[in-house]
Structure 1
């Protein structure tokens, strides 16, 4: 069995999106040596603007948001590696033995593993507008943009029909574009569509026009008709980035997500999953909340103190030499950080406040 100092890290997070970075933020600030391995890209990185994240304005792009988050996590002492995790596996039969993480170039051992690998959206065939300029993947993020505008929804299944009907809450001009395919939605959904003011356009798209800024203006269809749209939503499903989850034997839901409890624990002890890889709303604030709960749960699982009565009976009382349990590197970073009670900010407040009395 490994001892704590035999591990390279307490926690390794695979994925550098909002969920993964928030997990790393919490584990690092709660005294656990943390590594983030991120291959780059992802759904959040595709955002032209940031919506629904309180305190973050529309002018912030996804890449800017993620860069600020990464810098914040690193400032607290987490390690960040740009790379692709090719394999992850237990080091032994006991979860306490930890895990091996292989990036191809390097190999790390870790006590706990967090998967935040997300999913990618299925894209329809072109012609298509640019993502974020008429092509959008999140109704809850972007419906506000299309209040009182003409909107399309692409797809043939129940999800496409439901999104189209939901958009009637925001605008009275909604079309479903089946792109030449027959609808596959249920009879119940078909009856609902027939009783809502939604047009179903069966002809495929043959061309499109954009305005001078690159935003979608209209689609041209096989029958020669042209319909104007400000934007819309393709609904063709999701590809979960779950190769590592499958290699580790994690249970998955019928719909493809990794099954987790309310704190991100998976069916394999010591492995957690957060964000778009798990069930729930695919929203940045939701992902951040999942990351926070996961980070706190890992802290509670791994923290050295309080030592239980059983452990006291086995190991003896906690001595002064046992504390604190934080690693020397994290301790040095914390003490020097501007957020520390004795850090630069506190020193600045001392300067601005009342001068100390003379001896």
Structure 2
């Protein structure tokens, strides 16, 4: 075990986790944040224009700012990956891949979700340079440009609608053929100047400092072709990597952590916030708000353990 017993351990360093750390430390809790990196999905957004009180900010810059605030109040950080969690009477033990085990009276799970990727050459290198996993975040950066949306179903078509609102010409790349139930979606897309490219996958994303084109492969013929685009929106959904949570807290059918309105999971003392939860909307400001709620709820939980008064409101 490292660092003695903390009041609270927060797993995750994105908007939810960092905000939770800020609120927990302001309540005087000895707080440890375990995260592989700082920013989480915020780092995928080169420019955020819908965070209240800030005209525009890079996602990483916003994350660093919240981290610095939390550190000012005493938050500690360990850069590692959490791989296990267990309960020992009134304490919880979080195991990490490299640095050992850490114990705390309460835990906040805020490690977000991971976008499903294409796993093709050029993708990782061009993230934030034309490759995006969030149309609602990044569509304004591609106003009037040619973009490709890779995926199908409601998730991808919502991205198409968002992009078309900014005057984009959109190519929607789909490895299959449309079913009868998809005809209405196709007609709607065609009326919005969207080019439907069926039976195709992306085999490479090209560009030096930013996306210039994608290589398409026809899954029926094997033939490859190149399509010039300024952006690629990978809209195949997100994965909650919560296998290590199974049997410890309740998960829904999508692997998301089920919480109540106070951020409490099915296990008392364990809270969750942000995109890893079953909340409908996945946005930075919502994740931050949930992080604050989870931290205040965890504070009250710890106060109850210690037989001390809890807080019902806090505007400070």
* 1:131-190: CA deviation from partner (whole Å, max 9, x where unpaired): 111211112111111222222110234422332234322225111112xx214x664333
Q: Does 1:114 align with 2:108?
A: yes
SS in 2 for 1:196: helix
Mapping for residues 229-268 of structure 1, pairs under 5 Å: 229-246=229-246, 248=248, 250-268=249-267
**1:80 aligned residue:** 77
Match of 2:184 among 178, 184, 191: 191
Sort the Cα spacing of 1:125 and 1:82 in 2 relative to 1 into closer, same or farther, 3 A: closer
Q: Which residue of 1 aligns with 2:46?
A: 48
Q: Is the 8 A contact 1:128 1:135 kept in 2?
A: no
Q: With structure 1 as the length reference, what TM-score do the two structures score?
A: 0.72
Question: TM-score w.r.t. structure 2 length?
Answer: 0.81
After TM superposition, list the pairs within 5 Å mapping 1:56-135 onto structure 2.
56=54, 58=56, 60=58, 62=60, 64-92=61-89, 97-103=90-96, 105-128=99-122, 130-135=126-131
How is 1:111-260 mapped onto 2 (pairs within 5 angstroms)? 111-128=105-122, 130-178=126-174, 181-183=175-177, 187-197=180-190, 198-202=194-198, 203-205=200-202, 209-210=206-207, 214-221=209-216, 226-246=226-246, 248=248, 250-260=249-259
Deviates more, 1:21-30 or 1:124-133: 124-133
Return closer, same or farther for 1:186/1:161 CA change in 2, 3 Å cut-off. Answer: farther
Any gaps of 5 or more consecutive residues in structure 2? 218-222, 311-315
- Give the match for residue 348 of structure 1: none
Cα distance change on mapping 1:166 and 1:59 into 2, 3 Å: closer
Moved over 6 A (4+): none
Q: Distance in 1 between matches of 2:173 and 2:211?
A: 15
The structure that is strand-richer by fraction is 2
- Separation in 2, partners of 1:244, 1:221: 36
For 1:205 and 1:244, locate their aligned partners in 2 and report how far apart those are by CA, in whole Å. 31
- Contact 1:264–1:272 (8 Å) recurs in 2: yes
Over aligned residue pairs, what C-alpha RMSD do you find?
2.7
Specify every segment of 5 or more residues in structure 1 that has no aligned partner in the other structure, as ranges.
1-6, 308-339, 341-359
Change (3 A) 1:220 1:102: closer
Quick check: which has more Rg, 1 or 2?
1
Residue aligning to 2:309: 306
Residues paired across the two proteins, number: 291
